[in-house]
Amino acid sequence: MVRIVRIFVAVTLLVLAFPAPAAAVGEVQIEGTVMGQHGPPDFSAPDCPPGSEWRFPSAGSGHLSPFGTVDYSLTQCTRSGTEPASALSDGTITFTFAKGDTLIIAQKMSSQLVGPPDGPPEGFTMEATWTVVEGTGRFLDATGSGALDGAGDIPGGEALFGLPDGLAQFNFTGTLSTQPIVTGMVLVDAKTDQDVGPLVDGAVVDLGATPQFNIRVETAPGTVGSVGFAVLDSDKQPVRFRLDGQPRENFAPYAAGGDWPVGNYLPMTLGPGTYTLQATAYSGGSLTGAAGPSYELMFTVAKRFTADLVGEIAFEFGTPAHMARCGEEPAGPLVLTNSSGTASDIGVVQATWAQCAIGATGGFVSQETTMEAANGDQLFLAADNADGDIPYEVTVVGGTGRFVGATGSAQVTFVAVPQFLPVEVCEPSPTNPCLDVTAPWPWSGTLEGIIAY
C-alpha cells in the first residue's frame, strides 16, 4: 500500500555578507522566512526535466525582506537517472507579493538521507544553487543568483521514496539586482518623529490619534537616487499634500510630506477624505535615470467621531411602513427611535433610527439612521445586529451637504427602558414578558468611532 506523506517545510532566506560597504543602486540583499506544506507526489512529473520519476509540489506564505509579505509555490523534481529517488534536483520557486508582483527562481539541488548504516534514516541534508528566471511588475528585469543548503529530520525514520516526513529548513544566500523600487510605506507621527506602523492598502489614518502625520516610503535598495510622489483624491484628481509643494525627495528618509532638517518629519497637508498615494523610485537625483514601477496605496484620513443622544422608542405592527421595510410576514415589529443630542464636529443633531426587530434576542436587521445637523446637512448610517449585541457597529454610508461621500464607522452603546403592561397578575418572565409596545420606551445611546468627509 502506497503511503502518502505530507511534509511541512520552512524556507529561510538569509542575508549574504558581502565585502562591499554598501549595496549599489539596484543590488539588494534579501532575507526572510516562508513556511508551507508539501502535497502528495505527482508521478506524471509535469514541468520536470525528461527522465524525472516524479514531481513534488509545495505552497505557503511568509515574509521576504525588504519586499514584505509573500506567497510561494515550489515545484521540486527527482534528479534524472538517479538511485534512489530521494535525490532531488531541479526545482522552481514562484514568489507572489502583496501587490501581485512575481519573482521566479530556479534551483538545482541534490539531497542525501543520513542515519545509521543498519537503521532507518534520521534526517537529510541538501545543497543547491539558485538563479532568477524571470519576474513581473517590480521584478520585471530582476537578476540574481546564490546558493542554498538545508537539513531536516525524519520522525520515526519513515520516508516515502526518500522524501522525509518531517520539518525542513532551507538557508538561502545571494543577491538580487532590480531596478530601484518602492517596497512599502510607513505611517509616521510628525509631532514625535516616531513610526506608527506599516501603512497597508485601505488603512485609516486616525486624526484623533495622529493629528500630524507623514508617510515614509521604503525602497530597495535602501538608498536610491530619488523618489517622486503624487496624491489623488477620491475623484482621482491631484491634490497638494506637502508644505513646500515639492513632490520629490532626493535623500533618505523618503517622506511624502518632506522632512527638514533630515529626520524631522513635516506634517502632510491632507484633511479628512480618501486618497491614493503614488510613489516611484529613480536611480538618479531629482527624478532622473531609470525609474521603477509606480507603487500605489489607498488610505483614508478620518476624524474621531462621538455622539451622545437621548430619545424614545416606538413600535409599529402591520402598517404600510412596517410591511414595506420588513416584508409581508415580518418576524418582529418596525422599531422607530427619535433622539437628539450633540455630536463631535457637528454640534446639535436630531437623529432618527429605524430597524426591523427579529426573534426574541433583541436583534434587528436593516437599521437605517439619519443624523441631521442644525443647518440641515444629513449623515447616514446603516447596521445589522441580528444577535442583539451591545455594543454593535454602524457604518457611515454618505449623506447630504458637507457629508456627501462620507465614510467611517462607530460603535453604538445604548440603553432602552422597557415598559410593562399595568396588569397586577402579570409578572414579567422570559416566556411572559408583559411588554407594553403601545407606550414609548425611554432610550439613550452613545456613538464612538471615526468619520471622513
pLDDT tens-digit map of 196-239 = 999 999 999 999 899 999 999 999 888 999 999 999 998 999 99
pLDDT at 166: 58
Q: How far apart are CA 408 and CA 328, in angstroms?
A: 33
Res. 424: pLDDT tops 70: no
Can you list the positions of beta strands (E) in 250-385? 254-255, 273-284, 288-291, 295-316, 334-343, 347-358, 363-373, 378-385
> What nine digits make up the cell of 382?
446603516
Band (328; pLDDT cuts 50, 70, 90): confident
CB-based contact 379:399 (threshold 8 Å) = yes
Q: How far apart are CA 283 and CA 25, in angstroms?
A: 7
pLDDT at 430: 60
Give the CA dihedral 199, 201, 202, 206, nearest 10 degrees. 10
Angle (CA) 316-318-321 rounded to 5° is: 65
Single-letter amino acid, residue 383: A
CB-based contact 37:59 (threshold 8 Å) = yes
- Count Cα neighbours of 23 within 13 Å in the Cβ-side half-sphere: 21
- Widest CA span of the chain, in angstroms? 94
> What nine digits make up the cell of 370?
439619519
pLDDT at 20: 32
Q: How far apart are CA 453 and CA 448, in angstroms?
A: 16
- Would you list the DSSP string of 131-154? EEEEE-GGGTT-EEEEEEEEEEE-
Kindly give, in sequence order, each residue whose CB lies less than 8 Å from that of residue 418, ignoring residues fewer than 6 positions away: 433, 435, 441
CB-based contact 235:404 (threshold 8 Å) = no
**Cβ neighbours around 177 below 10 Å, total:** 17
pLDDT at 453: 86
Positive or negative, the Cα torsion across 178, 181, 187, 191? positive
CB-based contact 368:351 (threshold 8 Å) = no
CB-based contact 213:206 (threshold 8 Å) = no
Q: Any bridge partners for residue 445, and if so which?
A: 309, 414
User: Which carries the bigger pLDDT value, residue 314 or residue 66?
Assistant: 314
Q: Which residue has the cell 539541488?
A: 109
Res. 433: pLDDT tops 60: yes
CB-based contact 11:34 (threshold 8 Å) = yes
Judge if pTM exceeds 0.75: no
Burial zone of 138 (CB within 10 Å; 0-12 exposed, 13-18 middle, 19+ buried)? buried
pLDDT tens-digit map of 254-303 = 999 999 999 999 999 999 999 999 999 999 999 999 888 899 999 999 99
Mean pLDDT of 230-252: 93
Q: How far apart are CA 271 and CA 96, in angstroms?
A: 34
Q: How far apart are CA 419 and CA 437, in angstroms?
A: 7
CB-based contact 186:197 (threshold 8 Å) = yes
H-helix or E-strand spanning residue 230 = strand 226-232
DSSP state of 231: E
Strands 295-316 and 203-206: parallel
Mean pLDDT of 4-8: 34
pLDDT at 49: 66
Res. 183: pLDDT tops 80: yes
pLDDT at 88: 59
pLDDT tens-digit map of 32-65 = 777 766 555 666 666 666 666 666 677 778 878 7
Q: Any bridge partners for residue 303, and if so which?
A: 451
Provide the 3-class DSSP secondary structure of residue 320: helix
Q: How far apart are CA 384 and CA 326, in angstroms?
A: 13
DSSP state of 24: P
Single-letter amino acid, residue 319: T
pLDDT tens-digit map of 131-155 = 999 999 888 888 998 887 777 666 5
pLDDT at 72: 82
The overall average pLDDT reported for the chain is 82
